Chain A
Amino acid sequence: MRKRVAILVLLASLLVAGDARAAEIPGLLPALLPPRLLTEVGKPVPPAPPFRSGFAVDGGHHYQVRVFTFGSAVILEVLRKSDGHLSVSAYLARGVATPHRLQATFGNLGKISMRFRPPRRGDGVRSVCRFGERLTQHRGSYVGHFDFKGEDGYVSLDLHRAKGSIVTPAGRCRRHHLTQAQIEKFIESLFEPVSALFTSAREGVTTTTLLSLKSKSRTVFLASHEETHGRLAIIRIATARAPKGFRVDETVTRAALSPPAPFHGTGHYRAEPDGATSWTGNLSVNFPGAPRFPLAGRDFKVLLEVPF
């Protein structure tokens, strides 16, 4: 029995995307993730140097589309974010993911076959320090063909060129040191009483989960959905923060979630005297490509924990 890896990887990727200039540093993952990620399909890639490569483009309708390598996969991410919330659909396919080549088929949604070209002028190289790791970024363009049409055409792209980069690690660099106040605040947050509601539904290899954590100051909501279609995996994630939206009654037999956008509706938790629990309501979430995705119903198992 084990934890989910794919969702953690994507979340970490999104965390970084929030402050990095994603168009320039695609797939720049924090150092806590394994650094050596190489493809398996096609001819084995020599082990050194490790790399991350890809590009990001505007997908229209406030969507950003990022294509990058992660280990054996080529990941296509469609994400939309604004203050306090974020939703993303990631399409994972096996393909050729070498530093200079991105090639994969995303089921019947599209495919990519592009090669990296360095800039004509200059070397396009710059160095950045992130999470204590120095990274060398080789900027250039991906040239070839990339077409993608999301479910029901929510995003549609047909490209022959995109600015992107290849990132390779280049040793350690000066860490960002936290101040004493920041450390104390962090430690304090670890011991802050938190109410949690976790619900999940699974059918075969398709899984939907919702986690809500409520502390004194705010409430966070995280929904995810995983599915596979042949040799394509789709992972969808949505997060939101709000000061309210998670209510638990004094008897801890009733609770309700009403998260803000991209969520809609309300989910109701109910515990019966015999210990049986239920999770019902019209709670749903707007994932890119999967609007009004249901997050409550009889198929969901639910767990509520409230601090004393």
Chain B
Amino acid sequence: MALLLLSLVLCAVPAGAVASGVRVPATSAGEAGRFWSAGRIREAKPLEVTSPSAVLARRGGGERGAPRRIAGVAPRRADFGADFEQVADPAAPGFRIHGAVFVSLGIFGYGRCSGTAVHSGNQSVVFTAAHCINSGGRRGRWEKDRWTFIPAYRYGQRPFGAFPARWLDTTRQWRMSGSENFDVGAAVVGRNQRGETLEEAVGGAGIAWNLKPQQTFDVHGYPAEEPFDGETQRICPATPFIGHDPDSFLFPGPLNLAVTCEVNGGASGGGWIIEGETLNSVTNYGYFDDTSPDFGAYFGNEVARLYGRAARVK
């Protein structure tokens, strides 16, 4: 089975995918866990798209190719270690692959987003929004300091530990243009305090691209603005695709997706799951005058390339 999955992953990696992104200075899980104290997490502000599609892209990548799926995988351990406090729902199967992302912004404080563990050969890939990793455009700034994924986070509890990033990347078009139609990023994380890989600890969602936009999604995330507090995982279950944002037509890349889900800041990067286990979009943005609907990037060829690069990181 493992061989089958591995071959599936290797076949799925698009030809020509090259390693890129940025390496993150090594941080141990223990150090990351200590750094992200309850106080710092409380201070963390949601990361937002700073300049929506500030500069428009110069080249392609938005074409739709053949649909492709990579199956998810269950965690190696079914029970939680005694070292970790058990929490209720976020740690349950199907939810534990989703978590909160925290990052230090230097003198600007701390930022937060959401993310989802995705199955890959290196067992350590997290998908999130690109703006949770890089501010976008040609002058985009990498947000890599203390970038840490905490799956199933709840009220300070980290039932599966903290996973500091080792490598970060976004779609190339996000870094070239800042077009929100390409607002997807990926991280490869280190092991947790118990020495487990992310996939050993929580499993990983499958991932699919080039599917029809007309899907029904379970939208996960950690919204942190009123009336939410970012301390619990939220879900909008079985919310169908309702259309595209008119703004999306003006910018390069595949038209984005809209669903009805009242998320707000902090939920950026939260996974959109189809058929119970397959990641097919992530939360990108909403509008200040109305938090519903929620907009997410379409997973096309550029996301496939990003996945390929992340999966190749050793």
Residue ranges of A at the interface with B (Cβ–Cβ < 8 Å): 1-6, 9, 34, 36-47, 70-73, 92-94, 200, 202, 204-205, 207, 209, 226-228, 231, 233-235, 301
Contact = CB atoms under 8 A, between A and B. Distances in A.
Given A5-B52, A34-B55, A227-B246, A40 B287 contact: no
Q: Which 8 A-B pairs have the closest CB atoms?
A: A44-B60, A47-B58, A40-B62, A233-B246, A1-B288, A205-B243, A40-B252, A92-B249
Contact of A233 (B55, B244, B252, B289): B244
A1 B250 CA distance: 18
B64 to A, nearest CB: 9
A3 B293 CA distance: 14
8 contacts: A36-B56, A71-B252, A72-B62, A72-B251, A72-B252, A205-B244, A207-B290, A228-B243
A40 B246 contact: no
Contact of A205 (B57, B62, B63, B245): B245
Contact of B49 (A2, A70, A226, A231): A2
Contact of A6 (B57, B250, B253): B250
A94 B54 contact: no
Nearest to B264: A1
A92 B245 CA distance: 11
Interface string B265-295: 1000000000000000000011111111100
Contact of B287 (A1, A92, A231): A1
A1 B243 contact: no
Contacts of B253: 40, 72
A75 to B, nearest CB: 9
Given A4-B287, A40-B253, A71-B252, A205 B56 contact: no
Given A1-B287, A71-B251, A73-B250, 17 more contacts: A1-B291, A3-B52, A5-B53, A5-B250, A6-B249, A40-B63, A44-B59, A71-B250, A72-B251, A72-B252, A92-B246, A92-B250, A94-B249, A204-B243, A204-B260, A205-B242, A207-B290
A41 B54 contact: no
Interface string B220-257: 00000000000000000000001111110111111100
Contact of B56 (A1, A37, A92, A200): A37
A231 B291 CA distance: 23
B250 A43 contact: no
B119 to A, nearest CB: 29
A228 B241 CA distance: 13
B184 to A, nearest CB: 15
Nearest to A1: B288
A93 B62 CA distance: 15
A2 B62 contact: no
Interface string B6-48: 0000000000000000000000000000000000000000001
B244 A34 contact: no
A85 to B, nearest CB: 23
A38 B286 contact: no
Give the size category of B's interface with A: 35 or more
A9 B49 CA distance: 18
Interface string B154-192: 000000000000000000000000000000000000000
Interface in B75-102: none
A231 B246 contact: no
B139 to A, nearest CB: 14
B258 interface: yes
Nearest to B290: A202
Given A38-B56, A205-B293, A228 B285 contact: no
B61 interface: yes
A204 B260 CA distance: 7
A38 B57 contact: yes
A204 B293 contact: yes
Nearest to B242: A204
| Residue of A45, A72, A228 with most partner-chain B CB within 10 A | A72
Contacts of A46: 59
Contacts of A41: 62-63
Nearest to A41: B62
A72 B249 contact: yes
| Residue of B52, B254, B290 with most partner-chain A CB within 10 A | B290
Contacts of B292: 202
Contacts of B289: 200, 202, 209, 301
Given A3-B52, A71-B252, A72-B252, A235 B246 contact: yes
| Residue of A3, A39, A228, A234 with most partner-chain B CB within 10 A | A228
Contact of B249 (A4, A43, A233): A233
Nearest to A234: B246
B59 to A, nearest CB: 5
Nearest to B58: A47
Contacts of A44: 59-61
A36 B55 CA distance: 8
Given A72-B249, A205-B245, A228-B244, A2 B285 contact: yes
B50 to A, nearest CB: 9
| Residue of B63, B242, B255 with most partner-chain A CB within 10 A | B255
A66 to B, nearest CB: 16
Contacts of B62: 40-41, 72
A9 B250 contact: yes
A231 B244 CA distance: 8
A6 B247 contact: yes
